[in-house]
Amino acid sequence: MLPVIHYFNISILIKMQQKILILDFGSQTTQLIGRRVRELDTFCEILPYNKYPENDNDVIGVILSGSPYSVHDPEAFQIDLSRFMGRLPVLGICYGAQFISHSLGGKVEKADSREYGRAHLKTIDTENPLFRGFDNDSQVWMSHGDTITAIPDGFRCIASTPDVRYASYTNGKDVWAVQFHPEVFHTVQGTQLLRNFVVDICGSKQDWSAASFVDTTVAELKKEIGDDRVILGLSGGVDSSVAAVLLNRAIGRNLTCIFVDHGMLRKNEFRDVMHDYECLGLNVIGVDASAKFFADLEGVTDPEQKRKIIGRDFVEVFNAEAKKISGAKWLAQGTIYPDRIESLNITGKVIKSHHNVGGLPKEMHLQLCEPLKWLFKDEVRRVGRQLGMPEHLITRHPFPGPGLAVRILGDITPEKVRILQDADDIYIRGLRNYKVKLSGDEARKVLAAGVPAQMNDGEIEVSLYDQVWQAGTVLLSTVRSVGVMGDERTYEHPVALRAVTSTDAMTADWAHLPYDFMARVSNEIINKVRGVNRVCYDISSKPPSTIEWE
């Protein structure tokens, strides 16, 4: 039996406030719709298409997402539209638009060719509230194999492209539909369209913000926890760090944080992060357990086995330290909203994403505190800024829980970790120090992710580190390659550099880093890191590859 999960009254307050409901039909960009709505200072909740709530008094509008299915597939996801249509404003996106048309008597047919990529709205009814403020030639992003060839009676077309007649349609009252994706960056005025729907049509008060979240959550934490003691496991990452600072503001020294060093963190990370936490005034216990982890990992090469050993050892070390803290009643975690969202795969089965509480020992008997459980990653970063945290902590890239162990192919030894730490340190410092100027879609993407940058003459200047979602170095310790250094032949390991761009890590593209940067980093790694004589760059995207190698 896991620890009792206790939900703060903040959950009740959230349920009582206005919200947009997003019904997920399996699209890879459903979470992106949610993030865009939140960026409009409006709370939203993502639910599987078949989990529409019995009580929707707090819902002010419904959005139907895209889907990997055709509406004609026998296993296609379907919902009874009458549950909300006619009572609430509805926006159908891609499959959502096609499903509405198909369900109400319109016609959806296989397109002559797959409509994928950029398109331009040439005919737009800019008097319609959905397209208010739009340009006459607005770029949008299409991604569908079917197309709407007839709309239901009582509906009319309000936007077209040269190839898609019914790019958008409405009944003129409470239903709008678009066959393109307003949530993606390639739809230039997508945010404007969502603003028109969420704010103007649905009537959002736009009262969901980092400042209001901090004030409300701190007040509720004080009320619910009172004088109880709380334990929080820190990882050095953004989520747990923001959760710690938020709790510290509410309960101060009654919070004890535990930061376990398993020996596979980045170079000097344990020292640097401990220093950051002390500067933030957190009560932190640092535990160097690297000897235990290295001993238990000796000779293990299977990636899954490595993860299990590290997870087991972490729980043992954490539990041993937690038992030393008398009177603790709560366990705090940096769980965020994407950890809790039910996602749909194309088999139609509901899959729960991982939950941080999964490996806790039964005997801890602590109540669970998850102060960030309603936030997306970019919202967590905004809350961190609201709390006055240093930027380098807020903008840290995601880092795997097992650390460099899953970036070393083969068995783990202290020497291999040292090689990888040295190479990775050169790479990450290089990304932070190399500045680039961005404009257009790329600039909008970086700014939307919350990176602090000033627009100057249509351009922003940021580091390569801020431009990519995640970067890291992989040691191919099972491979040796021949090289020449000076007049001597070498037989050492190659390393692979990895950098990806993404919005939610569900999909990711390899980052097109500048050649001069790659040349500089490669040269520095080979010259300075003993044990490496070759540097490669991973140009695989997810899918079919994953971001991490193991």
Residue 538 structure tokens: 């991973």
What residues are annotated to the active site?
A: 94, 181, 183
**Which residue type, as a one-letter code, is found at position 50?**
N
DSSP helix/strand/coil, 505: coil
In whole angstroms, give the CA distance from residue 547 to residue 522: 21
Place of tokens 């190479």: 423
Going by the DSSP 8-state scheme, the letter that residue 17 receives in this structure is S
Cα of 434 vs its chain's centroid, Å: 24
β-pairing, 19-24 vs 44-48, is parallel
- φ, ψ at 526 (rounded to 5°): -65, -35
- φ, ψ at 71 (rounded to 5°): -65, -15
- Of the CA atoms within 13 Å of residue 48, those in its CB half-sphere come to 15
DSSP assignment of 105-173: T-EEEEEEEEEEEEEEE-EE-TTSGGGTT--SSEEEEEEEEEEEEEPPTT-EEEEE-SS-S-SEEE-SS
Measuring CA to CA, how many Å separate 238 from each of 234, 243, 268? 10, 9, 17
544 burial level (CB within 10 Å; 0-12, 13-18, 19+): exposed
